[in-house]
Amino acid sequence: MRAFDFHAPRSLDEALALLTPKAVPLAGGTDLFLRMERRQTQPDTVVDLKRIPALDRIEPSDRGLRIGALTLMETLAASSLIRNDYDALARSARAVGSIQTRNRATVGGNLANASPAADTATPLMALGAVVEATAADGTREVPVERLFLGPGRTALRDRELLTAILIPAMPARAGSAFQRCVRTAMDIAVVNCAAFVRLGEDGVVVDARIALGAVGPTPLRAASAEGRLKGQRFSPRMAEEAAECAADEAQPIDDVRAGAGYRREMVRVLTRRAIEGAFQRARGDA
């Protein structure tokens, strides 16, 4: 690891002023420090964001819920605001590494790192979340599903920080669920999956979103699986058919963690379980 300048600003404006093409922002550091140690990233300047209080909050908004980018995974997992309405997100945060990791890793860092296996990416996609991207000249919003351009690449621009995640209010008769497969308890996901469903008064699905992780260059939506659910009442066969559609849409590869065939099969299994869990919560059975 080579020498670098270190800054710890106490305001967002100060942090944005420090960003240059040779500077990297530091949130939890659980990924950044490893990349620096391996010389995959060699910045001239590290801008530590942890002393900016406005980036570490979970609060209701007129649109639903606003989560500061520096919110810790352990805070997400323990928050009653998250657990009560956004079960998939709470469970994904609880799945991240060890307790030590969860007390360092942040939700904004998990997204900005742009790993195809990022555990919070799929539930946030399924929940219809957007991120706030802030630069010195203003803030724009980017849907989470459009944030990822490839492994380690996002739609964030130069001198722009991911500052918050905005999740729409959870409608009535709606629920979400998260599923994950790993080799060991603290390994990154071989496959992860999140599902969201909203039911009409007659129990028919009026909206559905399914997101898959670690089976493509970016987390992805399973559009044909979502279409199989819409307009239907829950049945085990319908959940299985939607899961088969998701497995067909996955783009897995062979790597050191699993083969493509195994990953595709796990997409089928985990998607079915996630759909069943989302239906249970939507019906108030969970």
Residue that terminates a domain, selected from 114, 135, 168: 168
Question: Sheet containing 161-168: which strands, arranged edge to edge?
Answer: 58-61, 64-68, 161-168, 130-135, 138-143
Query: pLDDT class for 12, splitting at 50, 70, 90?
Result: very high
**Res 135 pLDDT > 70:** yes
264 and 207 together in one domain: yes
Query: pLDDT class for 95, splitting at 50, 70, 90?
Result: very high
Its domain, for residue 25, covers: 5-48
109 and 31 together in one domain: no
pLDDT on residue 286: 62
Percentage of the residues of the chain whose pLDDT score is greater than 70: 99
Query: What is the number of other CB atoms lying within 10 angstroms of the CB of residue 240?
Result: 15
Task: Provide mean pLDDT across the span 157-161.
Answer: 94
Residues 6+ apart with CB under 8 A from 84: none
In CATH, what number is assigned to the domain containing residue 11? 3.30.43.10
- Of 36-40, 71-75, 244-248, the least confident: 36-40
Taking a C-beta distance cutoff of 8 angstroms, is the pair 196, 209 a contact?
yes
| Alpha helices (runs of H) in 40-86, residue ranges in sequence order | 73-78, 80-85
Q: What are the pLDDT digits (tens) for 221-265?
A: 999 999 999 999 999 999 999 999 999 999 998 988 899 999 999
**Is 91 inside a domain boundary?**
yes
Q: What are the pLDDT digits (tens) for 136-158?
A: 999 999 999 999 999 999 999 99
Q: What is the mean pLDDT of the chain?
A: 94
pLDDT on residue 152: 92
92 and 182 together in one domain: no
Strands of 69-219, DSSP E: 130-135, 138-143, 148-150, 153-154, 161-168, 174-181, 191-199, 205-213
154 and 231 together in one domain: no
Q: How many domains does the chain have?
A: 3
186 and 159 together in one domain: no
- One-letter amino acid at 209 equals R
**Is 173 inside a domain boundary?**
no
Taking a C-beta distance cutoff of 8 angstroms, is the pair 92, 122 a contact?
yes
Residues 6+ apart with CB under 8 A from 95: 119, 178, 180, 189, 192
Residue that terminates a domain, selected from 143, 168, 193: 168
196 and 157 together in one domain: no
Task: Provide mean pLDDT across the span 88-108.
Answer: 93
Cα separation, 198 vs 209, whole angstroms: 9
Cα separation, 180 vs 269, whole angstroms: 10
164 and 62 together in one domain: yes
154 and 184 together in one domain: no
Task: Provide mean pLDDT across the span 123-132.
Answer: 98
Range among 22-26, 53-57, 162-166, 282-286 rated most confident: 162-166
Show the tokens assigned to 141: 């919003």
pLDDT on residue 83: 94
